[in-house]
Structure 1
Amino acid sequence: MSHMTLEYSANLRADGAFKDLCEKLARFMVTLRVDEKAVFPPGGIRVRAVPCEDFCIADGSATDAGFVHAILKIGAGRSDAAKTATCTGLFDIMKAHFAKQFERQGLALSLELNEFSEAGTLKHNNLHGRFKQV
Structure 2
Amino acid sequence: MPHLVILYTPNLEHRTDMTTLCRRLADVMLEQRDEQGRQVFPTGGTRVLAFPAAHYAVADGKGDYAFVYLNLRMGAGRTPAVQKRVGDELLAAVKAHVAPIFDQQLLGCTLQIDESPGQVYDGKHSNLHPLFNKK
Higher strand share: 1
Question: 2:59·2:65 contact (CA, 8 Å) conserved in 1?
Answer: no
Secondary structure in structure 2 of the residue aligned to 1:33: coil
The residue number in structure 2 matching 1:100 is 100
Partners of 1:41 and 1:133 within 8 A in 2: no
Q: Shift of residue 133 of structure 1?
A: 7.8
2:61 maps to: 60
Secondary structure in 1 aligned to 2:20?
A: helix
Q: 2:109 is matched with which residue?
A: 109
Unpaired segments ≥5 residues, structure 2: none
Q: Deviations over 1:74-100 (max 9, x none)?
A: 001111111111111100000000001
Alignment partners' CA distance in 2, 1:85 and 1:96: 16
User: Distance between the aligned counterparts of 1:55 and 1:112, measured in 2?
Assistant: 19
SS in 1 for 2:77: coil
Match of 1:124 in 2: 125
- Percent identity over the alignment is 36
CA distance in 2, matches of 1:94, 1:44: 21
Structure 1: gaps spanning 5 or more residues: none
TM-score by length of structure 2 reads 0.93
The amino acid across from 2:56 in the alignment is F
Is it true that 1:47 corresponds to 2:48 in the alignment? yes
Q: Give the CA RMSD over aligned residues.
A: 1.4
Q: Distance in 2 between matches of 1:51 and 1:93?
A: 19
Q: Secondary structure at the match of 2:121?
A: coil
Q: Which residue of 2 aligns with 1:33?
A: 33
What is the TM-score of this pair, normalised by structure 1?
Answer: 0.93
Q: Which amino acid aligns with 2:111?
A: L
**Equivalent residues of 2:91, 2:111 under 8 A apart:** yes
Moved more, 53-62 or 5-14: 53-62
Query: Aligned equivalents of 1:80 and 1:57: distance in 2?
Result: 32
Secondary structure in structure 2 of the residue aligned to 1:47: strand
